[in-house]
């Protein structure tokens, strides 16, 4: 009798998963097809594959609907590049933001750090209100996460200008901005923040070199 009840419960869970739009959550990665959306609790909590229960799937909290980026990484990067181009226009260099996305989440829309940072550019929950959002769950939205990261990076640049010598080149201001983006003004001098800035700087350099080479090839043609 107990086995029958467990089977019924399991089938019910599978039915609920299909009903609310979760296709799969395997080994920490969502699996979706292009154009789908997912509804998440406003607190940004994600379902855990190995601890899934009926309670996790019943929408007892107000939810936000998140557009899901393509599963294919190449297609996902192209989709992200379009968002980055729109959200950075007139505000910051898109190459820097793309480097930050790779550094922070490796283009994983649903990335969550052990400190609670969320989404593509790993935005901390305390920035939700400052970015004009209403909930942590909205940070899984690629467009909103990227737009918020632009605000945060601009803030980091302003902070970097305050702590960097006025005679220093702007490259040093940027380097310190990376450190502040990663660790905040309180801990930006730490070794971890410095290593982070070195890695982001290298990613930016690689992108600039690739861009310059592409232009050189176009010129030769």
Is-above-0.75 flag for pTM? no
What is the per-residue pLDDT for 107?
95
pLDDT of residue 36: 53
What residues make up the domain containing 183? 73-220
The burial of 190, by beta-carbon neighbours within 10 Å (0-12 exposed, 13-18 middle, 19 or more buried), is given as middle
Do 125 and 174 fall into the same domain?
yes
User: Are 48 and 62 within one domain?
Assistant: yes
Asked if residue 12 and residue 91 are part of one domain, the reply reads: no
The pLDDT of 81-102, averaged and rounded, is: 96
Are residues 84 and 149 part of one domain? yes
Alpha-carbon distance of 108 to 218, in angstroms, equals 32
Based on the domain organization, do 100 and 170 belong to the same domain?
A: yes
Distance CA 121, CA 100 (A): 7
The tens digit of pLDDT for each residue in 18-40 reads 333 333 332 333 443 334 556 66
- Write down the pLDDT at residue 91: 94
- In terms of domains, do 110 and 203 share one? yes
pLDDT value at residue 24: 32
Q: What is the pLDDT of residue 201?
A: 97
Q: Are residues 121 and 160 in the same domain?
A: yes
Q: How confident is the model at residue 56 (pLDDT cuts 50, 70, 90)?
A: very low
Of the ranges 6-10, 20-24, 92-96, which one carries the lowest mean pLDDT score? 20-24
Handedness of CA 210, 213, 218, 219 (dihedral sign): positive
Catalogue the E-assigned strands of 17-176. 25-26, 29-30, 37-41, 63-67
In 3D, which of 87, 193, 189, 75 has the Cα closest to residue 141?
87
Q: Is 39 within 8 Å of 20 (Cβ atoms)? A: yes
Domain at 158, CATH number: 1.10.530.10
17 and 86 co-located in one domain: no
> Residue 15 — very low, low, confident or very high, per pLDDT cuts 50/70/90?
very low
Instruction: Tell me how far apart the alpha carbons of residues 125 and 115 are, in angstroms, rounded to a whole number.
Output: 10
Residues 121 and 94 reside in one and the same domain:
yes
The reply to whether 89 and 175 lie within a common domain is yes
Select the more confidently predicted residue: 7 or 130.
130
Residues 203 and 119 in one domain: yes
Count the domains in the chain: 2
What tokens does 135 get?
A: 């909930």
Chosen domain end from 67, 102, 118: 67
Decide which of 67, 84, 105 is a domain's last residue: 67
Last residue of a domain, one of 16, 51, 67: 67
The pLDDT score that the predictor gives to residue 28 is 35
Instruction: Indicate if 214 and 187 belong to the same structural domain.
Output: yes
pLDDT digits (tens, 9 = 90+) for 122-179: 999 999 999 999 888 899 999 999 999 999 999 999 999 999 999 999 999 999 999 9
Can you tell me the mean pLDDT for 82-110? 95
């Amino acid at each position: 009798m107990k086995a029958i009840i467990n089977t019924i419960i399991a089938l019910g869970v599978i039915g609920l998963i299909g009903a609310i739009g979760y296709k799969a959550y395997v080994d920490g990665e969502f699996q979706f097809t292009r154009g789908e959306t997912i509804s998440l609790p406003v607190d940004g909590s994600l379902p855990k594959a190995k601890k899934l229960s009926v309670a996790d799937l019943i929408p007892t909290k107000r939810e936000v609907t998140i557009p899901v980026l393509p599963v294919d990484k190449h297609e996902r990067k192209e989709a992200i590049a379009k968002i980055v181009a729109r959200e950075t226009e007139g505000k910051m260099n898109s190459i820097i933001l793309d480097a930050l996305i790779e550094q922070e989440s490796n283009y994983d829309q649903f990335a969550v750090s052990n400190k609670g940072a969320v989404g593509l550019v790993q935005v901390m929950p305390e920035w939700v209100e400052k970015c004009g959002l209403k909930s942590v769950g909205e940070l899984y939205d690629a467009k909103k996460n990227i737009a918020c990261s632009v605000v945060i990076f601009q803030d980091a640049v302003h902070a970097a200008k305050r702590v960097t010598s006025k005679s220093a080149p702007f490259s040093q201001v940027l380097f310190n901005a990376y450190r502040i983006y990663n660790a905040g003004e309180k801990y930006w001098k730490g070794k971890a923040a410095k290593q982070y800035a070195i890695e982001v700087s290298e990613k930016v350099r690689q992108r600039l070199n690739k861009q310059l080479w592409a232009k050189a090839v176009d010129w030769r043609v």
